[in-house]
Structure 1
């Protein structure tokens, strides 16, 4: 057995042991797809101890490249929208924009989609093409359609898939629009995060079909949701839990804030809820649902550090700080942002602080709602 084959075998065993691979059909599909074929252009690894995170390239001829390809972890393949490993000598501190998702999450999501042998599948976010290849190995290329926003990323995925003799329908475009030409689909799976589930995905899914996507937002908390499309054009389903995070779809990334409001003004009071709720994954998700257009930043104000939330839709803002063991909030604008946060968290506490797995997402013509 070659080193590559042994590493691949160990990865399959790892995913089986941790419960990501639960059926023989998906195990055979995973065994048929060598992950290193989708990482031949290299990847970035984080430099330990750097803040903000710095990234350094690992190329195919680098020591440890092959072993890393078969580790069960996500590997960044693009930074700042255009930069690939071959472009860098040394380190870079910009934000990642494309990656190869950890294989166990890919297989867990595909297992959770309950795909049948005859299923037509739409994948949003081709990325390296690894998950696309696993779908092809399970279903056949004629049943797989994958949409990638980035033209260069799509081109590299197409090349990697061709090396394995796989030629699914690959589309370069905005995945939030789906791909009507191959609709309807039995299953839709997104490997990018969304703030709101696009209506096109629901319209292009057969009634009874499933949509698996990560719902998140600009405050950085997200969860998997599995939605069922209904005859009336709506969709609903539970959050899946587990704190799953994907990069947001590029059209839904937060806008640049531009000129900041004068956060020294406004009405000040003692806060019922402190800023620490933004440090917890669950409560941050709830805050984010209450303030879907809010961005967070940290400012030095009057000799102290303040956490500031700015609603880019209304221009409203809230600034929080600690003083003598108390939480103080100052806010201004058309909407009292922190009042909305405290009301939302108050309802959640009154309901007994249900876990995110007990939340339900509903999509109707009026919009998206998340309830418990």
Structure 2
């Protein structure tokens, strides 16, 4: 298909844009962005939000020049919603995105944080469209890249994209939370999906000194980006980055079906913390640490928390002078959230760079300031 717009020019323009923002300081990574044809990984249709639904945006309707300008913008393009691919959609659909082509600046940022070097063997969790896999192949060579995709349809499509790009990494269809033992030991595990906790298999398949770069998220959808380094004792440690980065949760870590929320009166008290803190990027992350099994529900009155396993709930409403919280069920969810937020505020409400994480096969702890400071155990 021909176009009056040069894709070479667009790729170079994208690289210049990212470099001007300080995101492409490494010549090898810049060369990869300039070399990989992103249009090969998006097919001919993507989803765009209209505020309430996801509408298919079709190449043939937009025209070639507009399509390519869209492809080479620094934007995440949703390619699947609740298992429905953009190619299959006859019209607007509703639901949650389940796959996307991540914005190039985030692909580059993940590679930067992972500190991938020539000669490394990398395990990528989440092949997706295959774009980030192709960038890894350009940097390291096809033989050094192993990529696991959970969704069979996505995996087949990504394989087609990569063949079209002239790339042949090791592609695996399966649960990325189990890693891929056949390629171990890896220098780096890099995840293009979020996890609630670090799967032990990722630790087992790393060499000593190897690293894991991923986002830690949860059912409130608070996220923290981190690089963990494995020592010779089998303990992985690291500090979170400040970047406001989020990925879709790995499918086995996804939220369970939520029961219908009813505002049970329960026990009532004045809230010590404003629920507005949950609108802060780090505040939401901290709240999630305090109540890791709760899902956040936005209501007309204010934020509510629902625990699917126990039926516990907490909901807030303004009372003229502040906020009232109602709690019902065996877990005092708002108490847990307020305790975590109080520890964070007493430390000066720092961003996520103040937080770190220690991971072993049997325990995973996020801490504030230092390992001996306030800490929260993740569900394992």
Instruction: Report TM bin, short chain.
Output: over 0.9
**Aligned position for 2:341:** 345
Equivalent in 350, 354, 365 of residue 361 of structure 2: 365
SS at match of 1:87: coil
Paired with 1:329 and 1:363, the residues of 2 have a C-alpha distance of 34
Taking structure 1 as the reference length, the TM-score comes to 0.93
CA apart distance, 1:17: 1.1
**Aligned position for 1:286:** 286
**Aligned position for 1:312:** 308
SS at match of 2:252: helix
Paired with 2:202 and 2:138, the residues of 1 have a C-alpha distance of 24
Give 5+ residue unaligned stretches, structure 1: none
1:323 pairs with 2:326 = no
Work out whether residues 259 and 308 of structure 2, in 8 Å CA contact, stay in contact via their aligned partners in 1. Answer: no
Deviations along 1:181-220, whole A, 9 cap, x unmatched? 1111001100111111111111111111111101111112
CA apart distance, 1:85: 2.1
**Aligned position for 2:15:** 12
1:274 pairs with 2:277 = no
Work out whether residues 40 and 59 of structure 1, in 8 Å CA contact, stay in contact via their aligned partners in 2. Answer: no
Paired with 1:245 and 1:278, the residues of 2 have a C-alpha distance of 16
1:79 pairs with 2:78 = no
**Aligned position for 2:241:** 240
Deviations along 1:156-192, whole A, 9 cap, x unmatched? 1100111122111000111111111111100110011
Work out whether residues 274 and 320 of structure 1, in 8 Å CA contact, stay in contact via their aligned partners in 2. Answer: no
1:217 pairs with 2:208 = no
SS at match of 2:59: coil
Question: 1:183-262 maps to which residues of 2 (within 5 A)?
Answer: 183-258=184-259
Find runs of 4+ consecutive structure 1 residues off by over 6 angstroms.
Answer: none
SS at match of 1:331: strand
Work out whether residues 235 and 364 of structure 1, in 8 Å CA contact, stay in contact via their aligned partners in 2. Answer: yes
Work out whether residues 275 and 321 of structure 1, in 8 Å CA contact, stay in contact via their aligned partners in 2. Answer: no
CA apart distance, 1:92: 1.9
**Aligned position for 2:130:** 129
**Aligned position for 1:140:** 141
Equivalent in 64, 69, 77 of residue 71 of structure 2: 69
CA apart distance, 1:59: 2.5
Query: Residues 335, 143 of structure 1: CA spacing in aligned structure 2 closer, same or farther, 3 A cutoff?
Result: same
Q: Aligned Cα RMSD in Å? A: 1.7
Work out whether residues 213 and 225 of structure 1, in 8 Å CA contact, stay in contact via their aligned partners in 2. Answer: yes
CA apart distance, 1:259: 5.7
**Aligned position for 1:60:** 59
Paired with 2:279 and 2:348, the residues of 1 have a C-alpha distance of 20
Deviations along 1:21-75, whole A, 9 cap, x unmatched? 111111222222111111124211122xx2x3x2221223232211111111100
Work out whether residues 221 and 243 of structure 1, in 8 Å CA contact, stay in contact via their aligned partners in 2. Answer: no
Count of aligned positions: 362
CA apart distance, 1:263: 4.2
Paired with 1:59 and 1:370, the residues of 2 have a C-alpha distance of 43
Work out whether residues 196 and 368 of structure 1, in 8 Å CA contact, stay in contact via their aligned partners in 2. Answer: yes
Work out whether residues 72 and 102 of structure 1, in 8 Å CA contact, stay in contact via their aligned partners in 2. Answer: yes
Greater shift in the superposed pair: 132-141 or 225-234:
225-234
Question: 1:78-157 maps to which residues of 2 (within 5 A)?
Answer: 78-81=80-83, 83-157=84-158
Paired with 1:269 and 1:258, the residues of 2 have a C-alpha distance of 24
Work out whether residues 11 and 72 of structure 2, in 8 Å CA contact, stay in contact via their aligned partners in 1. Answer: yes
Taking structure 2 as the reference length, the TM-score comes to 0.91
**Aligned position for 1:167:** 168
Paired with 2:198 and 2:231, the residues of 1 have a C-alpha distance of 15
Paired with 2:24 and 2:335, the residues of 1 have a C-alpha distance of 44
Greater shift in the superposed pair: 225-234 or 145-154:
225-234
Query: Residues 245, 298 of structure 1: CA spacing in aligned structure 2 closer, same or farther, 3 A cutoff?
Result: closer
Work out whether residues 8 and 34 of structure 2, in 8 Å CA contact, stay in contact via their aligned partners in 1. Answer: no
CA apart distance, 1:314: 3.5
Give 5+ residue unaligned stretches, structure 2: 369-380
